[in-house]
Amino acid sequence: MSSTENRLDEGGAVGESLLRQIPSVDELLGREALRALEARLGRRLVVDATRKVLQSLRARISNGTLAKVSVEMLEKEIVAATEKTAELSLRPVINATGVILHTNLGRAPLAPEAVEHLVEAATRYSNLEYDLARGERGKRDAHTDRLFAQLLGAEMTLVVNNNAAAVFLALNTLAAEGEVIVSRGELIEIGGSFRIPDICSKSGATLREVGTTNRTRIADYAAAINERTRALMRVHPSNFRVVGFTERPALDELVNLARQHSLPLIEDLGSGCLVDVAPMGIRDEPPAGASLKAGVDVVTFSGDKLLGGPQAGILTGKKEWLAKIRSNPLFRALRVDKLTIAALEATVALYQRGDLSAIPSFRMIQMPAEEIGARAARLAQKIDGRGGLRAEVREGESVIGGGSTPGQSLPTRLLAVTHAGHSAQELEQSLRRNSPPVLARVENDLVLLDLRTVFAEQDEEIARAFERLA
């Protein structure tokens, strides 16, 4: 017998004896720790985890990678496995990327006022579709309609699932089986495969492209109008910029042309500000109210971009057209639930009060770089020099994101971290696997954290994540 065979045989004998030591599922489930676990998380998860742990144990014994069976060790593995399965998948993360409206991270965080209202609506009955003054059935639009009327001078406002749904519904109602005229410079794609030509064709409207990528004149729109034309549409090029030899008609010109031909003018504003954000240093994000004032018939925008509310699509403007949109059977399929209405109503009510600083995304936009730098410096002091970590504060840039304000950024201060024994990628990965996950950027072999998008009370959590790493 060769020495290899000899060892294998020994392994086999040891394996046999280890396999005999494995406790039964029932024996394990009867143990104090697992009974407590079962009371907390339910029998099903604990039984499943126990079976899985025992299965992997047998595999490890068979391939000779396990030398001894301990019940305490099994118990620990079962608790960890059960807890992992019981963990909810949608989890809060710390956004240290400096992208304020990060679509992958849920866009705008809600104001506490919005959350409070949402919880009330969620946990109690409400007058969602009930007119309390008349004691009869009401409309769910009423709650937000009055606010947009007051803030924007809108005749009527509808809320649907998101802005993609709003654009779709407007086109389907107003231009299906006819043509909608759009400038070639505005045939945009937004992340998540929202493309104007695709939405158009799905809505049943024929897209009539006019002008060129960089220049479209009012005469181009005028020349394209024919008996099949149902609407004119303007799209805010929210996530890119065309610079140089460019031209697009003024909104007034489009309004006049639409009037002359009794056609509705639809404008997809994308980010949709309710206030003028130019004083905050944000360019090219026209407020929705300005479009309505100029005479646009139907303006659409998102609830969770610059507005800072829940995911929603807002359609606002003239009653003549919005009433038609409201009676489209698809409105029923795209309408929002009470939670969205509650969060949106309370968010928009903050604008009514002029309390913009209550909206987290606006606070982040307006946060001075010096304040971010001071927080970064405090963190750097805690981290620098600990267990191979080096940390310092650098200048950098934050972006608003969410497909808005292309080419614009906000000056910020970054916490730049390196580790003597690990690459920036490894460091970033460890932060991402922290509980709670901390999401940072990697640039030039540095892990960069931008505290603009980190809530101040989370700074401590970041310090702890680095402590664990050190």
Ligand X SMILES: *Cc1c(COP(=O)(O)O)cnc(C)c1O
The residues that touch ligand X, with contacts defined as CB under 6 A, are 162-164, 167, 190, 194, 235-236, 238, 268, 270-271, 302, 313, 403
- Cβ nearer to ligand X, comparing 79 with 325: 325
Among the listed residues 185, 235, 189, the one whose alpha carbon sits nearest the alpha carbon of residue 211: 185
Smallest distance from ligand X to CB 266, Å: 12
- Cβ nearer to ligand X, comparing 94 with 334: 334
Smallest distance from ligand X to CB 296, Å: 14
Q: Cα–Cα distance between 420 and 436 in angstroms, integer?
A: 24
The contacts found for 197-201 with CB under 8 angstroms, 24 or more apart, are: 199/164, 199/167, 199/168, 199/171, 200/171
Smallest distance from ligand X to CB 195, Å: 10
Residue 414's φ and ψ, nearest 5 degrees, are -115, 145
- Cβ nearer to ligand X, comparing 289 with 403: 403
The secondary structure element, H or E, covering residue 59 is: helix 43-62
Annotate 405-458 with DSSP letters as a single string. STT--EEEEEEEEEETTB-HHHHHHHHHTSSS-EE-EEETTEEEEEGGGS-GGG
Cα 343 to Cα 143, 144, 337, 340, distances in angstroms:
11, 10, 10, 5
User: Can you give the C-alpha Rg of the chain in angstroms?
Assistant: 29
Smallest distance from ligand X to CB 409, Å: 18
Smallest distance from ligand X to CB 270, Å: 3
- Cβ nearer to ligand X, comparing 126 with 408: 408
Q: Cα–Cα distance between 357 and 363 in angstroms, integer?
A: 5
Smallest distance from ligand X to CB 217, Å: 22
Token pair recorded at residue 408: 């614009």
Among the listed residues 137, 151, 169, 109, the one whose alpha carbon sits nearest the alpha carbon of residue 336: 169
- Cβ nearer to ligand X, comparing 145 with 186: 186
Smallest distance from ligand X to CB 167, Å: 6
Q: What is the DSSP secondary structure assignment for residue 108, as one 8-state letter? A: S
- Cβ nearer to ligand X, comparing 191 with 387: 191
- Cβ nearer to ligand X, comparing 194 with 221: 194
